[in-house]
Structure 1
Amino acid sequence: MADVKLIIGNKRYSSWSLRGWLAMKLSGMTFEEVVVPLYRADSHTALKAANPDAPPKVPSLKVGENAIWDTLAICEYLAEQCPTANLWPEDVFARARARSVVAEMHSSFMALREHVPMDFSKRLPYAGLPDEVEADIARICEVWRECRSLYSEQGPYLFGKISLADVFYAPVLVRFYSRSVPLDETCQAYFDTLWALPEFIKWRQTAEKEEWFITSYDPD
């Protein structure tokens, strides 16, 4: 197979990079990880050098001379190329629901993204959040509860077995953790399950050791 490179940004901050990296790990595909620090004067140039045919954004995937960008496109490519990894649920309607909640995460929750950026270096006491952020949190928790209600007998993840749905909601854990967002029993159990995923732990440990800091991400 052609050489595969995943270009990602700072592990401390880049939520889309985390999604792409987790998907790669769960797929079992062998790849080289290329980290490009973001929001620096040379970031654009470095991203174009790493994957010339992709936009200067993260994550992007370089497969030989071919470029794939946008996390969702990367995930669909992996699902096609690594069918035995079962990145989507096997049941047709579970798979459709999984794609629905992934698409919702891909296109929604802008208030949460704006006010609570992913930052592995932050842990603040819960002090309430703007109404629009609380609405996003409520909807995410509703998604989690609905999925767990439907698929809890098949395993501890959103659709029982781990899938791309969990990949897409993984950065939310960091956002919730950084602001000590209170969760009900069902959502806390799911949070704890995904937080303990070995691949997530590995990313988290690396992120916490990064020496690159972006002051604009400081919520204080």
Structure 2
Amino acid sequence: MDIDLFEHLDQLPPEVQKIIEDYGETESLEYSELEFFLKRIEAVGYTFEYGLDAIPFNLTKLINPNPMQKFTTQAQSLREKAVTELRKINETYREKSDHFEGSVIRITDNKIQYHLEGERYLSEIDIQNKKLIDNNGYQYDLDILSDHQLFTIIDTIEANIEKYQEWQESQSEIFYKIQNAGFNIVTCGNCGEVILHEIHEEGEIHCGGCSRDMDKSDCPDLYS
């Protein structure tokens, strides 16, 4: 029976050890990460298994692999998939860059604000030009990040988007409760100030921010 080389890392070639090091704690990987982890491992002539617990095991050497051809093809495939996923995120959640004229994916979660050079860290991704931008505005090629880092960024952003959407839904539910109680929260159609008023109150809405009286139709709900 073949031994599990995860338990004998010293017996592995340097390129295999490097891939395993890229993924850090293998017991805490997501299924999407495991899929690409396995492809990289197979590309250099090894393979492993994993079950419902998403923990890789039974790392063994493949029989009659073609490592160079597989590595080149699969490495390119991984990188292209990462770029495609980042472009999807950019289409929906792009924001204006703090450093140049254009849209970027803003990196605000400190878990993925990877250090790029010195004390500078990743703050934006310009995926259209495949550039990373640090907090001082310096740009770097996307290739300086590993596949694992790129997919960690994707997984983290998508998880944060999901949490934000859940938070928005909870805020909307509270807002509807306020409306059902006979009150409303709107924004001033002139200056954007937040205004609270009684729904059945007659007449115009007064804004203390710009001292204007406006029709209710000119003041949109804070949550719609």
TM-score (ref. length: structure 1): 0.25
- Which structure dedicates a bigger proportion of its chain to strand? 2
- Which structure dedicates a bigger proportion of its chain to helix? 1
Larger relative contact order, structure 1 or 2 (CA cutoff 8 Å, min sep 6): 1
TM-score (ref. length: structure 2): 0.24
Structure with the greater alpha carbon radius of gyration: 2
